[in-house]
Structure 1
Amino acid sequence: MAIEVKLITHRNQRRIAVYFPNTRELINRFKNLNGAKWSQSLKVWHLPDIPANRKLFKLKELVFNPLNEEKQEAIRNFTNYLLTKRYSTSTIKTYVEALKSFFKYFNDKNVADINNADVMLYHQDYILKNNLSSSYQNQIVNAIKLYFATIRETAIVVEKIYRPKTEKLLPNVLSKNEVKKILDAHSNIKHKTMLSVIYSCGLRRSELINLRPKDIDGERMIIIIRQAKGKKDRIVPLSSRILEMLRSYYKVYKPKTWLFEGQKEGTKYDERSLAQVLKQALQKAKIAKPVTLHWLRHSYATHLLESGTDLRYIQEILGHKSSKTTEIYTHVSTKSLQNIKSPFDDL
């Protein structure tokens, strides 16, 4: 069973990140390890970086074989390039970690000598051998292509680096009744409003947290989403019921900088705390499904489609760059399926 281990710095502490298949058995086993924690922001389980844990995961090679100076310089230059191109913090982190992983595999080879055959070898001997996901492989490809496109002396032909065939996974969707139970679960108006805004506007978690009071336009009945994914602004329709809820919330909390602030005035609401708000709502609503905040966004899009909203409008509201991304919701909509009569009923 494939397990990937990385050394990371999390909350200014050295930690050992452990990536493994998401099964209940493995999660329960990992929870019992001393100091094991789940990072909602990094989406990974991690342990303290101590000798006992290094020994447990055979980390000696990783710890005592850091990148050579040439590759460390390459990583610094790549990071600076991404910063000047104004990539988001999360994208920079993903790309840099992916390139580090690739470089570490060819640590004894000069960057200029790494070629397309090496890329294939890395895919075969590391990614496939360790049964790593196609999404992780795709991140590696993105990082490699972007890095080698920015340097002059290279044996890599960027155009010939291929991508893995991705899995076609359907989005997770809740019924309207399930959504109602979740949104009605909290009596705390702040918690209730946050979850309701995510669903009613189809927002990503980060988009909710980055909202400011001035982004709510009650006159035009819209919410302005600023510099979201892809650094694009967009507008989404504002429900009259949500506007009333927001006004009630505002009277109680009077947020200054951010619409939903943390415990300290002027700070954003913490992403992990928001995930906890959903978790508590699920417990109160007695819903056992492994619902995440993104499920609410998927559910919103699917429910819009089932109510007859044109896909082009849904694409604009969700902020999808490609219509193909939005079309996936046609595969989970049950409106047409419910009209199909099974021949079993006629037996």
Structure 2
Amino acid sequence: MLQNENIFNALIYLKNDFIAHFNYKDYSKHTIESYSRILETFCEYSSIFKDEMSLIEINSIFLINFLNYIDKDTKKLSKSTKKHYLTIIKIFFKYINENHKNLINFEKIFKNVKINGYLSGREEKIVSLNNQEIILLENELERGKFKECYNVFRNALLVKLMLFGGLRISEALNVKLCDFTENTQENLYYLNIPHAKGDKAQIAYIPFNKIEDEILFFRNRISNDDYIMKTNNGKLLNRSNAFLIVNRIYKKAKINKQGLHILRHSLAVKLTEADVNLAIIKKILRHSNITTTTIYAKATTKGISEALNRE
């Protein structure tokens, strides 16, 4: 099912389906090439979030950031060219809505996307949780633990792996108990990820005190080689399950945000605002290139104030 696929694979499949439809309708070669080129660029942009987002998490900010992305990747685009890109993407999502009715209605995401002069110079907005929201989220995760319910501890660990360990959703859904190794000297869990981004083995790090309750709970209930993120029927959670679960937790915590990728972003933003060295943030987030890490190094009002008032 497409909603269970990562955003890149889903868009590639839908793009090919869309272009095949245009070929069948006997559109001109020029039109097909134009649509294909723009949608290939859109898919290329989505590959950045391949291991962090699913198709149903696309929102207006994602589209605005795509326009900023092509602005930086090429010479500055004219207003009319941006409108052309956006029109084709809108037609693409209209086709998806009409032919894949099991997916969400994407029409609403275009309502907040305006092509204004300021857009090309605007910095990408990274959606993340602020400190107060993180406290609310942690409190909500602790609620209900007294019931000793498997799903409560599973959901808490799922969120914490992304929020405090920077795991991508594809990584968090596939953890086993044997993947966790405690380093008592550093007060960290080392988490072995055999198939991280690019299918490479990596090590993630998460503070011991953030997940000690959850790890103890699972050690008393499952075997070392068992997957942790299972449903009541013993099947592995998928992205759609996780998306619904986490959004439900946000709602209970009175956090007016959605999505799985904002948890990893929240860790990155928090580390950046704490003036942690970018090389260390790169290692924690396991970025292959520090250029990706610098996306989070945006100046905040707090950072500007501290810099200008420093004596």
TM-score (norm: length of structure 1): 0.54
Which of 254, 258, 263 is the aligned partner of 2:232?
263
Residue 184 (structure 1) shift: 1.6
User: Deviation at 1:262?
Assistant: 1.7
Question: Is contact 1:179–1:296 with CA below 8 Å preserved after alignment?
Answer: no
Higher strand share: 1
Change (3 A) 1:121 1:226: closer
* Shift in Å, 1:179: 0.8
8 A Cα contact 2:19 2:32, kept in partner: no
Distance in 1, matches of 2:88 and 2:299, equals: 27
Question: 1:216-263 CA distances to partner (integer Å, 9 max, x unpaired)?
Answer: 111473112221222222212231213412333214542552122221
AA paired with 1:203? L
- Say whether 1:246 aligns with 2:210: no
In 2: Cα distance, 1:121 partner to 1:133 partner: 9
Q: 1:278 maps to which residue?
A: 246
Q: Distance in 1 between matches of 2:172 and 2:154?
A: 13
SS class of match (1:179): helix
Q: Distance in 1 between matches of 2:304 and 2:260?
A: 26
Which residue of structure 2 aligns with residue 235 of structure 1? 203
Alignment of 1:96-115 (within 5 A): 96-107=13-24
Counterparts of 1:107-256 in structure 2, within 5 Å, are 107=24, 119-120=33-34, 123=38, 128=84, 131-133=87-89, 169-186=124-141, 187=143, 188-219=152-183, 221-251=189-219, 253-254=221-222, 256=225
- More helix per residue: 2
For structure 2, the residue ranges without an aligned partner over 5 or more in a row are 39-79, 94-119, 144-151
In the alignment, structure 1 segments of 5+ residues that lack a partner are 1-9, 12-38, 43-88, 138-164, 343-347
**1:204 Cα deviation after fit:** 1.4
Helix, strand or coil for the counterpart of 1:185?
helix
Q: Which amino acid aligns with 1:336?
A: G
The offset of 1:129, in angstroms, is 7.6
The match for 1:36 is: none
The one-character-per-residue Cα deviations of 1:79-113 (angstroms, maximum 9, x if unpaired) are xxxxxxxxxx865543233233224323477xxx9
Alpha-carbon distance, 1:133 to partner: 4.1
* Compared CA separation, residues 251 and 317, structure 1 to 2 (3 A): same
Kindly report which structure 2 residues correspond to 1:82-93, keeping only aligned pairs within 5 A, or say none: 91-93=8-10
Please give the per-residue CA displacement for 1:193-223, whole angstroms capped at 9, x wherever unaligned. 2212221101111111011112111147311
Structure number with higher relative contact order (C-alpha < 8 Å, ≥ 6 residues apart): 2
Corresponding residue SS for 2:227:
coil
> How many residues are treated as equivalent by the alignment?
225
Q: Confirm or deny that 1:330 pairs with 2:247.
A: no
- How do 1:12-23 residues align onto structure 2 when only pairs under 5 Å count? none
> Alpha carbons of 1:249 and 1:272: their partners in 2 closer, same or farther (altered >3 Å)?
farther
Q: Is the 8 A contact 2:35 2:88 kept in 1?
A: no
For 1:312 and 1:97, how far apart are their aligned partners in 2? 37
User: RMSD over aligned Cα, in angstroms?
Assistant: 3.7
State how far apart, in whole Å, the 1-side matches of 2:249 and 2:159 are. Answer: 9
**Number of the residue aligned with 1:157:** none
Q: How does 1:36-75 map to 2 (within 5 A)?
A: 39=3, 41=4
| Identity level (%) | 18
Q: Is residue 175–residue 227 contact of structure 2 (8 Å, CA) maintained in 1?
A: yes
Distance 2:212 2:161 in 1: 12
Alpha carbons 2:160, 2:211 under 8 Å: kept: no
Alpha carbons 1:193, 1:245 under 8 Å: kept: no
Alignment check: 8 A CA contact 2:153 2:214 kept: no
Q: Secondary structure of 1:260's partner?
A: coil
Partner Cα separation in structure 2 for residue 108 and residue 279 of structure 1: 40
Secondary structure of 1:218's counterpart equals strand
Q: Shift of the alpha carbon at 1:274?
A: 2.4
